Amino acid sequence: MNEKLKPCPLCGGKAIEHWYENGNYQIGCNNGEGLGCNIRGPVRSSREKAIYVWNTRPNEAGVLLKKAKKFLSLLQSCVKRL
């Protein structure tokens, strides 16, 4: 099985696989040669699961934008009451 890894959702850097002696897997952003932001996805018990959670991560920028919009509308409703 050779599933393609999506690029890092934060910096667009190349994703690399990490595996541990206890059999767990994790996908992270490449930090070799000073490239990438070195974030890592959740640790999973199999390579397939680690790749799945990495490839289906929510877009952090989109999530932040949603929070910012919610905060802005709260702020506007407070201002209206003044």
DSSP symbols for 3-71 = PPPPPPTTT-PPEEEEE-TTS-EEEEE--GGG-S---B---BSSHHHHHHHHHT---HHHHHHHHHHHH
CB-nearer residue toward Zn ion: 23 or 34: 34
In the bound complex, what is the minimum distance in angstroms from residue 71's beta carbon to Zn ion?
Answer: 26
In the bound complex, what is the minimum distance in angstroms from residue 36's beta carbon to Zn ion?
Answer: 4
In the bound complex, what is the minimum distance in angstroms from residue 58's beta carbon to Zn ion?
Answer: 15
Binding residues (CB under 5 A) for Zn ion: these are: 8, 10-11, 13, 29, 36-37
